[in-house]
Amino acid sequence: MMIRASVLHQPHLYLTPENPTQSSKLRVREQECSSLLQKCNSMDEFKQTHGRILKFGLGFDACTASNLIAACALSIWGSMDYASSILHKIDDPTQFTFNTMIRGYVKDSEPEAALFMYKAMQERDVKPDNFTYPSLLKGCAHMSALREGMQIHGHAFKFGLESDLYVQNSLINMYGKCGEIKHSCRVFEQMVQRSVASWSALIASHNSLGLWEECLDLFGKMSSEGWRADESTLVSLLSSCTHLGALDFGRCTHGYLIRNMRGPNVIVQTSLIDMYAKCGCLEKGLSIFENMPKKNLLSYSAMITGLAMHGEGRKALRVFSDMLGKGLKPDDIVYVGVLSACSHAGLVDEGLQCFNRMRFEHRMVPTVQHYGCLVDLMGRAGKLDEAYELIRNMPTEPNEVVWRCLLGACKVHHNLELGEEASRNLFQLDPNNVGDYMLLSNIYAKALRWDDVAKARINMVQRVSSQMPGFSTVEVKRKVHKFVSQDKSHPHSNQVYEMLHQMGWQLRFEGYTPDTTQVLFNVDEEEKRRLLGSHSQKLAIAFALIQTSQGLKIRIVKNLRMCNDCHTFTCLISMIFKRTITVRDRNRFHHFKEGRCSCGDYW
Ligand code: ZN
Ligand code: ZN
């Protein structure tokens, strides 16, 4: 071990073992050092210990230096700057020390510094090992840095570490985070030996890229090969179930958790709350939440958002005040949840109180999202002028969401003048949303301004091709079925259309006439009825009515906002077929029961 010249000028800091007694003394001191380091709980304690170690004369031998760096770089109280200052005082850092520094930088979300450290390691001819690459790849994943990630992959290959299990697991994760799922799959397929972490990385990659159905399939494959999922796999799986609205699959995952894990942690329980609430089973979500021994900000946030989506404003406010009572400080996501809960339940005064509390008590600067909730809240209550005033006096530029909320409110309360103002601003920010032209055309239609209706519809038709296609999913017997509007690709398609035809007769008997103003295409009335009749939500409901037994709740998830006609249709079906139907659209839940919807026709 070399020592820097500056250190040599302080001979008392460095003792050279000259005889066996001294050497054994030194070993005792080394042990003493490492136990002292283990006891450190803060940077101050660490600095004191560091000082003592220097006095022992041990600070610069390879073993103690790497222990010092490890304690300082990897502890939660640690400091990478300080670790780096220790590193600079030793002349030939080992592979272990470099690995520790790289790991520390990645842990501290400084992946670029980790890459520089790797470069320094190469410049000093220190060989990397199978601990070096997982951290580096994690850093690349963090930055979504595909090019650097591929270079690191190349280096791992060069050093013969490409087929190391840890390196491969990290590669799957890195490629997934960089959006290159094909590369993730290729690494996985080429693995000679796999671990639970390999499956977990592959499933998490699919989940983060929105490939939720594939996640459920992969889990099936994993189980059939005899693997037992770990907690992180189950969290990815629950997230996929949440997005798909796959309640039965989610329930099975919950059962799996109960059978295989002793006391799931806060993260898993929060995922369960989120899954149950967003799959339409709010009660179950609430009961898990209430029985949680330890709740954190994320658990409260998931519960409040869940309650908000179901229009349970008062309950959301109770959970919020419980959270404040526990001394937790709300963040801006919690406030979005609380404000949208007030808005969905029409609690105007309470919403305004929360907004003020956010600004003055918690000293937070409301974002445009919070203003959006507030505009929605006032709009719902018919306070359109106040909502407009609020938008005009916002400290930040209003975005399209804010204007869209106002436009929606103008449609409900038939305010033509403000509706035009909102749409003018909205179309400047986002000229391509078909739904917005639909709202405007509805406002004109109510005011009998047919020329303007026609203009709005021309705009609509021009933009329809750029729209994301609408789809609805429904889960039957633990399998998720997806329907696109006008879909004929489903294996049960014939039965579905036959069922829709029969439903049509019963609906007409109840006085239903299709609202053909909701059709975007310029076709004759007959064709409009046909297009309207096969909206994805209706196909999914028809399919669920055939496939599930009487009395069972039907749960639909759709990607877009529900159209007026599908809303009326579903209300009537819930009455005629005596079924509770829950639909989660882009914004919220609609619970249809006995001919009424929980949203009170405001959505
Ligand atoms: Zn529809
Ligand atoms: Zn509704």
**Centre of ligand 1 from the C-alpha of residue 566, in Å:** 4
pLDDT at 525: 79
pLDDT at 171: 97
Strand residues in 229-317 grouped as ranges (E): none
Tokens standing for residue 597? 């919807």
Tokens standing for residue 565? 């006609």
User: What's the pLDDT tens digit per position in 312-333?
Assistant: 999 999 999 999 999 999 999 9
Which ligand neighbours the alpha carbon of 569 most closely?
1
Q: Which of 452, 467, 482 is the last residue of a domain?
A: 467
C-alpha count within 13 angstroms, C-beta hemisphere, residue 460: 21
**DSSP 8-state assignment for residue 90:** B
Range of 231's domain? 202-294
Asked, for residue 396, whether it belongs to a domain, the answer is yes
**Centre of ligand 2 from the C-alpha of residue 441, in Å:** 21
Q: Which of 467, 493, 508 is the last residue of a domain?
A: 467
Mean pLDDT in order along the chain per 10 residues (603 residues): 34 40 67 82 90 78 84 92 91 91 95 95 94 96 94 95 95 96 96 96 95 94 94 95 92 92 87 95 95 94 95 95 95 95 91 94 92 91 92 90 92 91 92 84 84 82 71 90 89 93 91 77 77 91 94 91 90 95 90 91 75
pLDDT at 110: 94
Which ligand neighbours the alpha carbon of 596 most closely?
2
Measured at the alpha carbon of residue 65, what is the angle toward residues 62 and 69, in degrees to the nearest 5? Answer: 135
The model scores a pTM over 0.85: no
Which ligand neighbours the alpha carbon of 561 most closely?
1
**Beta carbons of 559 and 470 less than 8 angstroms apart:** yes
10 Å CB burial of residue 297 (0-12, 13-18, 19+) is: middle
**Centre of ligand 1 from the C-alpha of residue 281, in Å:** 24
* Helices and strands (H, E) in the chain, number of each type: 31, 6
Verify that 495 and 581 share a domain, yes or no.
yes
**Centre of ligand 1 from the C-alpha of residue 436, in Å:** 15
The candidate with the shortest Cα–Cα distance to 280, out of 471, 550, 474, is 474
**Where do the H-state alpha helices sit in 40-110?**
43-56, 62-74, 80-89, 95-107
> Residue for token digits 């939720």?
212
Which ligand neighbours the alpha carbon of 472 most closely?
1
Asked, for residue 538, whether it belongs to a domain, the answer is yes
Verify that 447 and 489 share a domain, yes or no.
no
**Centre of ligand 1 from the C-alpha of residue 381, in Å:** 25
Asked, for residue 427, whether it belongs to a domain, the answer is yes
**Centre of ligand 2 from the C-alpha of residue 555, in Å:** 14
Which ligand neighbours the alpha carbon of 563 most closely?
1
**Centre of ligand 2 from the C-alpha of residue 602, in Å:** 7
Asked, for residue 555, whether it belongs to a domain, the answer is yes
Q: What is the CATH number of the domain that holds 436?
A: 1.25.40
**Centre of ligand 1 from the C-alpha of residue 565, in Å:** 5
Q: Which of 447, 467, 487 is the last residue of a domain?
A: 467
pLDDT at 10: 32
Strands laid side by side in the 471-476 sheet:
479-484, 471-476, 554-558, 581-584, 589-593, 596-597
Asked, for residue 247, whether it belongs to a domain, the answer is yes
Verify that 431 and 535 share a domain, yes or no.
no
**Beta carbons of 234 and 253 less than 8 angstroms apart:** yes
**Where do the H-state alpha helices sit in 381-484?**
384-392, 400-412, 416-429, 434-446, 450-463
**Centre of ligand 1 from the C-alpha of residue 514, in Å:** 10
**Centre of ligand 1 from the C-alpha of residue 365, in Å:** 38
Q: How far apart are CA 456 and CA 430, in angstroms?
A: 15
**Centre of ligand 1 from the C-alpha of residue 172, in Å:** 40
Write out the H or E segment, with its range, that includes residue 482: strand 479-484
pLDDT at 5: 35
pLDDT at 8: 31
pLDDT at 23: 65
Q: How far apart are CA 280 and CA 300, in angstroms?
A: 18
**Centre of ligand 2 from the C-alpha of residue 34, in Å:** 64
**Centre of ligand 2 from the C-alpha of residue 26, in Å:** 76
Task: Phi first, then psi: give them for residue 562, nearest 5 degrees.
Answer: -75, 140
**Centre of ligand 1 from the C-alpha of residue 464, in Å:** 15
Tokens standing for residue 569? 């249709």
**Centre of ligand 1 from the C-alpha of residue 545, in Å:** 18
Verify that 442 and 531 share a domain, yes or no.
no
Verify that 431 and 497 share a domain, yes or no.
no
**DSSP 8-state assignment for residue 358:** I
10 Å CB burial of residue 290 (0-12, 13-18, 19+) is: exposed
Asked, for residue 206, whether it belongs to a domain, the answer is yes
Verify that 482 and 592 share a domain, yes or no.
yes
Verify that 463 and 498 share a domain, yes or no.
no
Asked, for residue 525, whether it belongs to a domain, the answer is yes
Q: Which residues contact 327 (CB under 8 A, 6 or more apart)?
A: none
pLDDT at 312: 93
Verify that 207 and 287 share a domain, yes or no.
yes
**Centre of ligand 2 from the C-alpha of residue 596, in Å:** 8
pLDDT at 38: 86
Domain count, the chain: 3
**Beta carbons of 166 and 135 less than 8 angstroms apart:** no
Verify that 273 and 242 share a domain, yes or no.
yes
Task: Supply the angle between the helices 231-244 and 196-208 in degrees, to the nearest 10.
Answer: 30
Which ligand neighbours the alpha carbon of 538 most closely?
1
**Centre of ligand 2 from the C-alpha of residue 209, in Å:** 30
Which ligand neighbours the alpha carbon of 344 most closely?
2
Verify that 415 and 476 share a domain, yes or no.
no
**Beta carbons of 108 and 144 less than 8 angstroms apart:** no
Q: How far apart are CA 358 and CA 335, in angstroms?
A: 7
Q: How far apart are CA 285 and CA 247, in angstroms?
A: 12
**DSSP 8-state assignment for residue 466:** G
> Residue for token digits 């309640």?
247
Verify that 447 and 498 share a domain, yes or no.
no
**Beta carbons of 330 and 370 less than 8 angstroms apart:** no
**Residue list, CB under 5 A from ion ligand 1:** 535, 563, 566
Verify that 459 and 437 share a domain, yes or no.
yes
> Residue for token digits 């000082």?
51
**Centre of ligand 1 from the C-alpha of residue 379, in Å:** 24
**Centre of ligand 1 from the C-alpha of residue 244, in Å:** 19
Q: How far apart are CA 240 and CA 213, in angstroms?
A: 7
Asked, for residue 602, whether it belongs to a domain, the answer is no
pLDDT at 466: 64
Tokens standing for residue 391? 């938008």
Tokens standing for residue 164? 């190391």
pLDDT at 22: 59
Tokens standing for residue 407? 């436009």
